[in-house]
Structure 1
Amino acid sequence: MFWTKRVVIGDAERGLMYRNRQFERVLAPGVYRLFDPFNQAAVTVHPTLPAEYAGRDAETLIDALGARLGETFVLAEIGSEQVGLVCRHGKLEDVLVPGTRKLYWRGPAQVTVQTLPLGGDLRVPADVVRRLRQLGVLARVAVFVEVPTESAGLVFIDGSLTQMLAPGAYAFWNFQKNVAAEVIDLRVQSIEVQGQELLTRDKVSLRVNLAATVRVIDPVAARTKVAKYLDQLYRELQYGLRKVVSSRTLDELLGDKATLDADIFASVRGQLGAFGVEALGVGVKDVILPGEMRQILNGVVQAEKTAQANVIRRREEANATRSLLNTARLIEDSPVLMRLKELEALEKVTEKIDRLTVFGGLDGVLKQLVTLK
């Protein structure tokens, strides 16, 4: 008939009928003949997949349907302190930010909306974190932080430190507030201060390399009391090294390295503890002198060693002379000892002679060959 309209709504579709541009009713799947002699009726057909209603008149539909809204739509109304999780057939599909209001078609896709409170610390429950990671939207809606073993995590909300995290994996909703997380390493670390040009108390210029082992014992102090604790640590080691070196002469520095290390350690330990860092050990690795100074020191060492060698030589010569004098006195008092010395001399002479002719027999050898007067 000329005054009717034929409208067909498919199984995966819904129709919204308007008369004079005012919402009238929802059309379920089927075939309809609408009486419209003045062409005042209009029907918009919407697919139910995807399930989210894409029209611009969602608020109008909510008011118009009232109590009957649940027959056609699922209303997602998220409060200002809530987060919405949209699930289809039990699987997470989307995350709704606080203050969201959306409609989803009831149809082939079984859509449910779960609301979660943001909470004061904004922490995301562990089971929700796994679902968000599977969906691939975790980085978009939350701040994820992984704290390794022997580390500590610090969480800042709107610039204020709110909590410290033990090793593990965490996520925090990134809605309405600015959330940031940092990881502080609590393991023992080695710091090297190299190439420091210093002046000793006796005005000798030298270059020193220093090594230190430290660890963070108070992550909160290390992060909040100084801007960058590693830079501050390096500077404190520099200051401590300069202070100790400038109070000693070159001979003192080179002669007692253990005391030098202990004094540097004592100087920096208190300074490092003020911002949550503990010094475990400090040691001077290298003391590098200029070329001219090395030559001078080499000359001094050579002269000292030469003098020591001369002293030892003189001492040994004096000991040898004293021994000879004692031997002579013994020989003078003992004829038998004298005769033994004569025989020793004879033995040494005969060792260097190939042939020896003796007259007068053995008695002649003993009495006439060697005679000491």
Structure 2
Amino acid sequence: MFWIKQIVIGDGERGLLYRNRRAERILAPGVYRYFDPFGRIVVAMHDMTRPEYAGADAEALMAAGLFAGSFLVADIDTDEVGLVFKNGKLEDILMPGTRKLYWQAMVPVRVETVSLADSLSIRADVANRLRQLGVIGKVAIAVDVPEEWAGLVFIDGKLQGVLASGAYAYWNFGKNVTAEVIDLRVQSLEVSGQELLTRDRVSLRVNLAATLRVVDPIAARTRVAKYLDYVYRELQYGLRKAVSAKTLDELLGDKASLDADIFAYVRGRVVELGLEVQGVGVKDVILPGEMKDILNSVVQAEKAAQANVIRRREEANATRSLLNTAKLIEGSPVLMRLKELEALEKVTEKIDKFTVFGGLDGVLNEVIGLKT
């Protein structure tokens, strides 16, 4: 008959029956027939595979407390976060101050509240699940601290602590959460092309290198705005001070003392900032062209003078040796004869043929003779 309304509810559905626009009952799967000549009955169909109640009257149902056994009410306080578990797995996050209604039918739903007043830190299992869902960036601040780095967490501008290497996450509801990571490894810093004047007014250009590391990340972050820029400037000041106190000859003759002076200056300036300067070294000392020519001329003159002294000394030694040899020959006829034979040997090396008359006596007595 036209006045009979038939309603069919599927296995994965529930029907919410309204009579005169007021929720009256929940219809389980099955076939229902109602006598409704005036069209006062309306049934809203709901998909149970989606446990979130999608009706516009959720607040009215929660306020009236209807169907308490069929719904789960999630009422999240303003200083809490709701974790929605479906089938035992975290699937959704409810923001502070949220009220939501869930069907208690096909999909088991559980809501766990987390207080934001105690801590903003997120448990590791919850953070990992949020990463899997791809929503961690929407509800939290993720902090990844590599090995040999340190993490600093600030909440509303106040430092909360230092993080060791690892993965962390913090709720960003109602608070301004920021995080920074600081490198604790040894770092190198170079100061290049510094135009300086020595104590004797010689202009030169110096390249400097330094190594440093952060030993106190809190001090390095809170006591100076940019600690690398600060160290760079202090290296410039230390280099200028050390160079201006030495002459050019002192700089070129003992660069190690220059390194030590700069190192002592910079180390004293940065120790209270949580920084450790491990070494400072001058890489290059570059002179202008005319100064190079002058130094080259000086070096050439010094080397020429040294060569002249050595030559004179060797000539004197050779003359002294000849004089001693002559004195020995004068007092020894046998030594005289040996010298004659050495002279004969040298002569025979330079001729093709050599004829001797008179046998060995002719060689010894007639061919060659040295007069004393």
The TM-score, its normalising length taken from structure 2, stands at 0.87
Q: Does 1:61 align with 2:79?
A: no
Q: Does 1:6 align with 2:11?
A: no
**Partner residue in 2 for 1:47:** 46
Query: Which structure 2 residues correspond to residues 1-373 of structure 1 after superposition, within 5 A?
Result: 6=5, 8=7, 10-11=9-10, 12-15=13-16, 17=18, 19=20, 23=22, 25-29=24-28, 31=32, 33=34, 41=40, 43=42, 45-49=44-48, 50-65=50-65, 68-332=66-330, 337-338=335-336, 340-352=338-350, 354-358=353-357, 362=361, 365-366=364-365, 369-373=368-372
Deviation of residue 244 (structure 1)?
A: 1.2
Q: Provide the secondary structure at the position in 1 that maps to 2:25.
A: strand
Distance 2:370 2:18 in 1: 155
What residue identity is the alignment partner of 1:17? Answer: Y
Q: Provide the secondary structure at the position in 1 that maps to 2:52.
A: coil
Encode CA deviations 1:317-361: one digit per residue, 9 max, x unaligned: 222223333344444555655555455445544554542444697
The TM-score, its normalising length taken from structure 1, stands at 0.87
Higher mean Cα deviation, 302-311 or 330-339?
330-339
Higher mean Cα deviation, 253-262 or 51-60?
51-60
Asked if structure 1 preserves the Cα contact closer than 8 Å seen for 2:340 and 2:368, the reply is no
Deviation of residue 75 (structure 1)?
A: 0.4
How many residue pairs end up in the alignment? 366
Q: Provide the secondary structure at the position in 2 that maps to 1:177.
A: coil
Asked if structure 1 preserves the Cα contact closer than 8 Å seen for 2:80 and 2:115, the reply is yes
Distance 2:363 2:35 in 1: 167
Query: Which segments of 5 or more consecutive residues in structure 1 lack a partner in the other structure?
Result: none
Distance 2:173 2:33 in 1: 46
What residue identity is the alignment partner of 2:104? Answer: R
Aligned-residue CA RMSD (Å): 2.8
Deviation of residue 74 (structure 1)?
A: 0.9
Q: Provide the secondary structure at the position in 1 that maps to 2:112.
A: strand
Asked if structure 2 preserves the Cα contact closer than 8 Å seen for 1:48 and 1:106, the reply is no
Asked if structure 1 preserves the Cα contact closer than 8 Å seen for 2:16 and 2:23, the reply is no
Query: Which segments of 5 or more consecutive residues in structure 2 lack a partner in the other structure?
Result: none
Higher mean Cα deviation, 7-16 or 236-245?
7-16
Higher mean Cα deviation, 306-315 or 109-118?
109-118
Deviation of residue 44 (structure 1)?
A: 5.7
Deviation of residue 178 (structure 1)?
A: 1.1
